[in-house]
Amino acid sequence: MSESAGIIVKVNDEILLCKRSESVNHGGYWSPPMGGVEKGESPAEAAVREFKEETNISINGTLKKIIKLDNKITIFLSVKNTKIKPDLDKAKDGFEHSECGYFKDKDLDDLKISQKFLKVYREILN
């Protein structure tokens, strides 16, 4: 697996996750918008680019690197005061997700989430 990066958006006590479309890798799983780091690109630059490509939203402001999973996936955190709403229909790669939503810690048990990501989400929310 090549290196990838993504951004988790947190608003108050909720995080933004998107459900991977069944036609792509990890279909049906909820994750932050993320994707591959291209040659000459930093993980932070890749995370911002991928977020825009998958949600049609430009992330501005400071990103906090929170973890690097399996030495391949860099996850950043963006804390916002108000919810941002992905527009999957207008996003270049919006087809990669079937829906997006905001979730509290208590909601996570009802979602299909990989265990390594679940641990990260819980740490952010608690």
Distance CA 124, CA 82 (A): 17
Per cent of the chain over pLDDT 90 is 92
Distance CA 26, CA 28 (A): 6
- Would the pLDDT of 53 be above 70? yes
Per cent of the chain over pLDDT 70 is 99
Domain ranges of the chain: 4-125
List, for residues 62-113, the tens digit of each pLDDT value. Answer: 899 999 999 999 999 999 999 999 999 999 999 999 999 999 999 999 999 9
Mean pLDDT of 16-44: 95
pTM: 0.94
Mean pLDDT of 32-58: 96
pLDDT of residue 1: 52
Q: Would you say 39 and 27 are in contact if contact means Cβ atoms under 8 Å apart?
A: no
Counting Cβ atoms within 10 Å, is residue 52 exposed (0-12), middle (13-18) or buried (19+)? Answer: middle
Compute how many other C-beta atoms are within 10 angstroms of the C-beta atom of residue 49: 18
Closest CA to 77 of 1, 3, 8: 8
Q: Which fold has domain 4-125?
A: Nucleoside Triphosphate Pyrophosphohydrolase (3.90.79)
